[in-house]
Amino acid sequence: MNLDLASRWLGGSVLAASDESFGFKENLLVPADPDFVPGRYDHRGEIVDGWETRRRRGEPGHDWAIVRLGAPGVIDEIDVDTRFFTGNYPPSCRIEACGMEGYPGMDELTGPDAGWAEIVPLSPLRGDGHNLFAVADPRRFTHVRLSIHPDGGVARLRVRGEVVPDPRHWDGLTVDLAGQEQGGLVVAASDSFYSSAELLNRPDRARTMGEGWETGRRRDSGHDFAVIRLATTGRLRQIEIDTSHFKYNASAEVELSGTAGGDVSPGADRIPVLPRTPVRPDTRHLFTLPAPSAALTAVRIDAFPDGGISRVRLVGTPEPAARLGAGLRWFNALPANQAARCLAAAGASEPDIARVLAARPLTSPPGDGRHETLTTWLTGHPSYRP
């Protein structure tokens, strides 16, 4: 189960496109499926629900769009969706990705130092359907560039993969360890009849009942549940159960428990976190724990007997060993040019940068005292000593 790293829910955006004469580039990331009503026209032509460029008519070049991922990560699969584009879809496409620090502008992204890497070679497309491309590159990327050859229309672009958070943003803070943008993932649910449990840990607020988790009506003595794998092993301090918009079908009670090992299955041995507790319809509930929980890797939410929950937040702090693991994973997955820029910005010399990059994948922080900044990035503690 992977997320759409480019999702608008996570903050993805289309930064620029070579042309959008017939269809706006922003349509590529609209969360809903594409739609099309024949015969509707505006001043551009027939209204399309996608990104569509003008006819190049044999002129050199091709069209492109650059997308900033809402959550950087390792890409597993890309869906170039051409639904409703029949006589005007691109014959082929190519996809590249890069890793950049901060919030680069177009001058940086199109400059010679961007380090774009091909992750999908020039490949044929079919019209009016999903075009799925597996990606095997293990690096963490922040941006993708879709090039269509030579022109045409694409309805949606989905960039599925696993979030690799920058753990430097965790230090000194409590964070929502269940949140999608941090790498939390719903891995199991008893039922998603009306709407998916995968909505529970989205970073936004639900705007309607349809943007929360709703199960079918139970006619037996059981109850429903969902399991969230945390972004990293951590200790919880506060739990939020939000039933907003569920007025007549909210869950009546909830209970939370966690697992301390790697087993995230629904039947794993459990550690109590929140006892069975009544919840109210259409209400955000905050439960502050009297003491930090045990170090947990996953949390199971039991909902009695059925019904709806909009969002679940599990706020806490990463465990030191897990923080180190997240730091190593992040740094090892950075494209080489991004890792080099991080080190250079921290004042590392060119010889030190070359030595650190040659030593990847790192299995522990450097112990020679010359890389204090790198050690802080990896562990969250400048005084760490192996």
pLDDT in tens, 275-313: 999 999 999 999 999 999 999 999 999 999 998 999 999
Q: What pLDDT, in 10s, does the model give residues 306-349? A: 989 999 999 999 999 999 999 999 999 999 999 999 999 999 99
Domain edges within the chain: 3-163, 169-318, 331-379
Q: What pLDDT, in 10s, does the model give residues 47-78? A: 899 999 999 988 899 999 999 999 999 999 99
Q: How confident is the model at residue 265 (pLDDT cuts 50, 70, 90)?
A: confident
Q: How confident is the model at residue 268 (pLDDT cuts 50, 70, 90)?
A: confident
pLDDT of residue 267: 86
pLDDT of residue 369: 65
* Preceding omega of 305 cis (within 30 degrees of 0): yes
Q: What is the mean pLDDT of the chain?
A: 95
pLDDT of residue 256: 98
* Residue 5 scores a pLDDT above 90: yes
* Residue 386 scores a pLDDT above 80: no
Output the six-digit token pair for 293.
Answer: 């929980």
Q: How confident is the model at residue 152 (pLDDT cuts 50, 70, 90)?
A: very high
* Backbone torsions φ then ψ of 332, nearest 5 degrees: -65, -30
- Tell me the mean pLDDT in the region 248-258: 97
Output the six-digit token pair for 373.
Answer: 């900044």
pLDDT of residue 383: 63
How many helices and strands, by DSSP H and E, does the chain display? 5, 22
Class at the top of the CATH hierarchy for domain 3-163: mainly beta
* Residue 367 scores a pLDDT above 80: no
Q: How confident is the model at residue 385 (pLDDT cuts 50, 70, 90)?
A: low
* Residue 262 scores a pLDDT above 90: no
pLDDT of residue 359: 94
pLDDT of residue 384: 59
Q: How confident is the model at residue 99 (pLDDT cuts 50, 70, 90)?
A: very high
Q: What pLDDT, in 10s, does the model give residues 198-247? A: 999 999 999 999 999 999 999 999 999 999 999 999 999 999 999 999 99
Query: CATH number of the domain at 169-318, out of 2.60.120.260, 3.40.50.1820, 1.10.1380.10, 1.10.10.370?
Result: 2.60.120.260
* Residue 264 scores a pLDDT above 90: no
Q: How far is CA 203 from the centre of its chain?
A: 10
Q: Which residue blocks in 41-166 are alpha helix, DSSP H?
A: 106-109
pLDDT of residue 2: 87
Q: Please answer whether residues 274 and 313 qualify as being in contact, where contact means their C-beta atoms are separated by less than 8 angstroms.
A: no
**pTM confidence score:** 0.94
Q: What pLDDT, in 10s, does the model give residues 160-171? A: 999 999 999 999
